[in-house]
């Protein structure tokens, strides 16, 4: 096979695009993923509350290690909340970016 034919084979577009309604149970899967996202957000709220409590306790008791761990926990929980809230937008952004690759 010549080099030109190999290059054409590498650039071949299979023509596959995401479509709604292709498989049964798509609506159920969307509901399940939404519920998992909700539970994760609820867990993050709990983690944020616990971390803030550890931070406050460490600050008022002079426990520098507990205070530092509480700060880290608050930052991690805030980051997780940001990612969970932005999950749809992040996936949509990179999916749209991926469709521009030729």
Segments forming the whole domain that contains residue 75: 30-99
pTM strictly above 0.75: no
**DSSP label of 100:** T
- Asked if the structure places residue 85 within a domain, the reply is yes
- Asked if the structure places residue 7 within a domain, the reply is no
Quick: pLDDT tens for 19-58: 777 778 888 999 999 999 999 999 999 999 999 999 999 9
Nearest to 58 by CA among 72, 41, 77: 72
> Considering its fold, how many domains does the chain have in total?
1
| CA distance linking residue 72 with residue 60, whole number of Å | 17
Quick: pLDDT tens for 52-94: 999 999 999 999 999 999 999 999 999 999 999 999 999 999 9
- Asked if the structure places residue 19 within a domain, the reply is no
- Asked if the structure places residue 75 within a domain, the reply is yes
């Amino acid at each position: 096979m010549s080099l030109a034919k190999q290059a054409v084979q590498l650039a071949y577009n299979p023509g596959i695009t995401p479509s709604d309604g292709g498989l049964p149970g798509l609506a159920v899967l969307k509901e399940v993923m939404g519920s998992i996202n909700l539970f994760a957000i609820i867990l993050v709220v709990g983690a944020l509350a616990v971390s803030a409590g550890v931070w406050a306790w460490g600050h008022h008791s002079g426990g520098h290690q507990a205070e530092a761990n509480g700060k880290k926990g608050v930052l991690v929980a805030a980051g997780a909340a940001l990612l969970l809230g932005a999950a749809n937008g992040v996936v949509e952004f990179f999916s749209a970016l991926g469709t521009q690759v030729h």
